[in-house]
Amino acid sequence: MISSIQEWFKNHLEADNTDSQHTIELATAVLLYEVMRADHKFDQLEQDSYRKQLETHFSLTGAELETLCQLSQSQADNAADYQQFTRVINDIYGLKEKRAVLDSLWTVAYADHELSPDEEYTIRKIADLLYIPHNQFIQSKLSVKPY
């Protein structure tokens, strides 16, 4: 079943100019999922935020969103590192788009109104792999942090 989902995404969502095995949608979804699971709690608020962030970034139907969520979980469970996903984002996105992804990572982490050290560590690691300057990392965190 997973292979059929992967094939569907490859056929429908992969950009024509890339031969990457991962799409920008899948790469972003996996990184968001990694933040969501970093504290080992799958709070409903975080799950809702995760889906909302994907809807904000990409134009997906309900079925496509559901498939992307399932595939991102599978890919995250089998991934050895984040680099295979951040590479896709680095190849396609500029700093402005990468900052939007970073903002989404913080939004998912803060969805339950609690930032765990594991969530912050995960976001810091991803930000480093996306070559986001530290001042942008801090600005993003402060812009999303609930008061």
* pTM for this entry: 0.83
Q: Domain of 23?
A: 2-144
Q: Indicate which CATH number applies to the domain containing 6.
A: 1.10.3680.10
User: 127-147: per-residue pLDDT in tens?
Assistant: 999 999 999 999 999 999 887
Cα–Cα distance measured from residue 60 to residue 141, given in angstroms and rounded to the nearest whole number: 27
User: 22-58: per-residue pLDDT in tens?
Assistant: 699 999 999 999 999 998 888 899 999 999 999 998 9
User: If pLDDT is split at 50, 70 and 90, which confidence band does 17 have?
Assistant: very low
pLDDT for position 97? 96
How many Å from the N-terminal Cα to the C-terminal Cα in the chain? 43
- In the predicted structure, residue 107 carries a pLDDT above the cut 60: yes
Residues 6+ apart with CB under 8 A from 121: 38
Number of compact structural domains in the chain: 1
